[in-house]
Amino acid sequence: MDNLINIEMEDLNETIDKNEISIVYFWSPGCGVCRYIGPIYEGLSKEYPAIPFGKVNTNENTDTYSQLGITAVPTVKFYSNGMTIDTIVGCRDYMKVKQTYKDKIEEIING
């Protein structure tokens, strides 16, 4: 089973509620930073195959991001047992983005 999944609004709550840990990436095709982060996010999904990595295209799911208070893309939300643990908006440092995400994943995994 592929752990990198495109998520629609009706599937979002089920995805984050049924998994101990899940990560959701909110992106837009017209976002330059999203085009940079996308392959990094996909690579991390391969490094952590037991964790579902969701992708929500905000252009196609406008209700999703507005209901969740997403104000900018890219936004990555980290969930544990259905609760938001952390949110990273944008890209603070292009050279460290992968390590920033990995550090957050490891923090959640290790409690």
CB 74 within 8 A of CB 29: no
Catalytic residues: 31, 34
* List of residues 6+ apart from 10 with CB closer than 8 A: none
Q: How far is CA 22 from CA 54, 71, 73, 85, 95, in A?
A: 8, 20, 18, 10, 24
Domain map (residue ranges) of the chain = 4-109
Identify any residues that bridge with 80 across adjacent strands, giving them in sequence order. Answer: 21, 83
Give one DSSP letter per residue of 29-85, joined into a string.
TT-HHHHHHHHHHHHHHHH-TTS-EEEEETTT-HHHHHHTT--SSSEEEEEETTEEE
Give the pLDDT of the chain (111 residues) as one tens digit per residue.
478 888 887 788 888 999 999 999 999 999 999 999 999 999 999 999 999 999 999 998 887 777 888 889 999 999 999 999 999 999 878 789 999 999 999 999 998
pLDDT at 4: 86
pLDDT at 11: 85
CB 12 within 8 A of CB 23: no
pTM over cut 0.75: yes
The domain defined by 4-109 carries CATH number 1.10.3720.10: no
